Structure 1
Amino acid sequence: MYRLCIFDLDGTLLNTVNALTYTTNVTLAAFGLGPIVPEQTKRMVGDGYRTQMERALKACGDEKLAHYEAALPLYMENFAKYCMKDVKPYEGIEHLLEYLRKKQVKIAVFSNKPHDQAVENIETIFGKNYFDCVRGEQAGTPKKPAPDGALIVCREMGMTPKECLYLGDTNTDMKTGIAAGMDTAGVTWGFRDRAELEALSPKYIVEHPSQVEMIVEKANMPNEDLNERK
């Protein structure tokens, strides 16, 4: 039975690729580099903004990362301004979230995005206190794919990992959910392709949020109902 769904943010709940691309390009331009395009961004994000900027700099010719240290605080300054640019939920996400709330399944966000921007993204789109927990990157907690943050969310919600369904769109997310001992679902509508997700053997691969509703419905069905349907 699933009592908590933990969602990745970028590429799972929200399409943030334009905001991430724009912020990266504004940062790169300060050093005479770039631009990159959204399809490149999709491959660069997911492991925190430091790794994202490392990948972007190298892609634009700064192989020795001469601008890396200067780029990090500049990226964060720019991201504070542009983190909501063109951000919108994926088709079917709002219906899925309302379904989960109606079924009294807790909903949480766990992201490698800096915490303040993760909260801004979620509260701007869905409203304050819509999610039971929102957790971005925080000092002292290893970022994904380490399972620590996911397990902290689980404990804060009073759940065990076996009661959680973890959903994400990258190999980093698959590693995170599996390492946390949670049933893990790879979503194909985000930033990475199906093959990347399948390579990590998550319990589920879903192509639309409505499939998550069916997974939860089946998992939470009383045993007598299951027996009747056999």
Structure 2
Amino acid sequence: MNTHPVAAVLFDLDGTLLDSAPDLGFALNEVCRENNLPEIPAEVFTPVASHGSRGLLSLTQLDDDTLLTLKPRFLEIYRENLARYSRLFDGIELLLSNLRRHQIKIGIVTNKPEFLTHPLIAQFEALQSISVVVCGDTLEVAKPSPKPLYYAAEQLDVDPKDCIYVGDAERDIIAGRDAGMVTVLAEYGYISSNDQPQQWLADYTIERPDALLELLALSEYTD
């Protein structure tokens, strides 16, 4: 990859930059407690944390109509506890600072809605300087459509073919590939045992965030 000019790196948020599963799981289990349902253990909810409220609530095995009635309460609890336990994945701060040192632009493209994304990002100093943030409801479509990625590239004033998109879900790889970007699968993210990431056809995979620097053949600064 080091022979290809990289103008920008775009990231998914949950499961790629942020380990937000603990707070999503907290909201899920608060809903369970309020409705006298069995709590969901972390090893069960973490792999599906990227699937949003519907995916998490489906772990209760309730019918679709009931899930719809629980969703507003889930979102309310989560909104009130966005950064109770969430944290940056180890190596993210180092990765972002090094990309900036090498004058590579940075953006976020997430399917999380704006009313949750912006308050969450505001809790993490390393993410606050990322000026281009495209959310699930910024446009009329979300990933796996490539349009949010095209929009982020446009906002950064870079050609999509000179961008890398890093994410942990199949929709991330589909969107990045359809946008003509180099795709990188974050294997450290939320990938369940039922997923088949080898079939997603990502261009590259990384087992930890700072491995992207090695992939780009960038010198690493630690100060």
TM-score normalized with structure 1 length: 0.84
**Which runs of structure 2 are paired with 1:28-43 in the superposition (5 Å)?**
28-43=32-47
2:214 aligns with: 214
Residue 8 of structure 2 corresponds to which residue in structure 1? 4
Query: How many angstroms apart in 2 are the aligned matches of 1:13 and 1:25?
Result: 23
Aligned to 1:198: 198
Query: Is the contact between residue 168 and residue 186 of structure 2 (CA under 8 Å) also seen in structure 1?
Result: yes
Based on CA coordinates, which of the two structures has the bigger radius of gyration? 1
Once the two structures are superposed, what CA deviation does each residue of 1:60-99 show, in whole Å capped at 9, x if it has no partner? 231x223122212112211110111211111111101000
> Which structure 2 residues correspond to residues 1-230 of structure 1 after superposition, within 5 A?
1-49=5-53, 51-53=54-56, 56-57=57-58, 59-62=59-62, 64-126=63-125, 129-138=128-137, 140-192=139-191, 196-217=196-217
- Residues of 1 paired with 2:89 and 2:10: CA distance? 16
- State the TM-score, normalized to the length of structure 2: 0.86
Instruction: Please give the alpha-carbon distance, in whole angstroms, between the structure 1 residues aligned to 2:77 and 2:135.
Output: 18
Report how many aligned residue pairs link the two structures: 213
TM-superposed deviation, 1:149: 1.2
CA shift, 1:45, in A, is 3.0
Q: Percent identity?
A: 23
Aligned match of 1:226:
none
Residue segments in structure 1 that go unaligned for 5+ positions in a row: 219-230
Write the deviation string for residues 6-41 of structure 1: whole angstroms up to 9, x where unpaired.
Answer: 111111111111001001111233332231122222
Aligned 8 A contact 1:186 1:202 in 2: yes
Q: Give ranges in structure 2 of 5+ residues lacking alignment.
A: 219-223
